[in-house]
Chain A
Amino acid sequence: MIAAYLSKLAGALAFDPALAARVVIEAREHLTDAAAEDACVDRDEAERRAVARFGDPRDLAAEFAAVALARQAWRVGVVIVLAILVALAMMKARLAWYALVQWTIADDARAVASVVLFVNRYAFWLAVLIGLGSLFHVGRRTAPARLHAGYRSHLRRATLLFSAATLALAVSVAGDLILMALRVKLTPDSIVPIASVAVEIGSVAFLIVMIARASRLMARTAGALGV
């Protein structure tokens, strides 16, 4: 009886395998204790009563879903802010390197560089603004007791903000890439600016994967629970 119930519970929580694994262990221990402490002599009956008192797996899944999605959204928000800080650190390191090796932009490329720099700068600050805004948006509302349409809309808005911040950061990183290409000379020293831009591109790629994963989790959860 308990095993069948745990299987249903794991199925209802399939939208988040890590959460399902943890909850199934907690539920198994709970149900084992509850059945063991039941005064009823019939073991099957004791297990049936323990399972009945535990609640409907689908209802529990809806309550866990809100917590799981809120946690995922908060993680994405934090990673966005970290990616922005990484990009800033890489930009500063690159500029320091250029000053050290005295690499400048050729005169005929200065007009292009100034346009790219303008876009780059504003895209970066837009990413900072939207990134912090997305974190504030996610943090200002705690997970409700149960996933409902209103909270799903709140998370959908968060995903939009995450995507906008990532897009702005991607534009800024693309600007960094162009500015580096205008300045870099193909010598062994160029590994430093190339590596720093590679780190920025990696951060943005990681962010895109995280946002896609969070969106899939939200869609899967909402679909499974009919929210």
Chain B
Amino acid sequence: MEGEMLKGHLDMIVLAALAPGPAHGYAIIEEIRRRTGKAFDLPEGTIYPALHRLQQAGLLSSRWVTSETGRRRRVYTLTRSGTRALADRRAVWQQFSDAVHALLDGKRSGKPA
């Protein structure tokens, strides 16, 4: 999928990848790959500015975790606002997706314009 198209929806993608539970950056990328069948081709580093931006917006929280091997990782978690934002964006996306499908399939939604 095109990088620019993906970037426009990156925040929603990251929020969705964190919905199952807290994760660090690499695990988020892996989760996105796993759930999309590697359909998204985005520079992996792009995820980090998005994580920082979402944290600043209060949609994520983060903390340092040190593993048994001594490696420090920043683990991100959805906040309540983040969970709500994901639900809102999912609803908007679903509506948009249905409309595009209808348009491409040549169907009419039956709703007034």
Chain A residues engaging chain B, CB cutoff 8 angstroms:
19, 22-23, 25-27, 29-30, 32-34, 53-56, 59-60, 63-64, 66-67, 70-71, 74, 142-143, 145
Chain B residues engaging chain A, CB cutoff 8 angstroms:
7, 10, 24-26, 29, 43-46, 48-50, 52-53, 56-57, 71-74
How far in angstroms is the closest Cβ of chain B from A32? 8
Give the residues in chain B near A19, CB-CB below 8 Å.
52
A30 touches B26 (CB 8 A): yes
Known: A22-B74, A25-B74, A145-B10. A30 touches B44 (CB 8 A): yes
A143 touches B53 (CB 8 A): yes
Give the residues in chain A near B24, CB-CB below 8 Å.
26, 29
A143 touches B44 (CB 8 A): no
Selected contact of B52 from candidates A29, A34, A67, A142, CB within 8 Å: A67
Which residue in chain B gives the minimum CB-CB distance to A61?
B49
A to B contact number (C-beta, < 8 Å): 68
Known: A60-B45, A63-B46. A29 touches B56 (CB 8 A): no
Selected contact of A70 from candidates B48, B50, B56, CB within 8 Å: B56
A55 touches B43 (CB 8 A): yes
Give the residues in chain A near B74, CB-CB below 8 Å.
22, 25-26
A54 touches B44 (CB 8 A): yes
Q: List 28 A-B contacts (CB under 8 A).
A: A26-B24, A26-B73, A26-B74, A29-B73, A30-B25, A30-B29, A30-B45, A32-B71, A33-B26, A34-B44, A53-B44, A54-B44, A55-B45, A55-B46, A56-B43, A59-B43, A60-B43, A60-B46, A63-B49, A64-B48, A66-B49, A67-B49, A67-B53, A70-B56, A71-B56, A74-B56, A142-B53, A143-B53
Give the residues in chain B near A70, CB-CB below 8 Å.
56
Known: A30-B26, A33-B26, A60-B49. A25 touches B72 (CB 8 A): yes
Known: A25-B72, A54-B44. A64 touches B52 (CB 8 A): yes
How far in angstroms is the closest Cβ of chain A from B102? 29
B43 touches A54 (CB 8 A): yes
How far in angstroms is the closest Cβ of chain A from B63? 12
Give the residues in chain A near B29, CB-CB below 8 Å.
30
Q: How far is the CA of A145 from the CA of B10 in the complex (A)?
A: 9
Which residue in chain A gives the minimum CB-CB distance to B64?
A25
Give the residues in chain B near A143, CB-CB below 8 Å.
53, 56
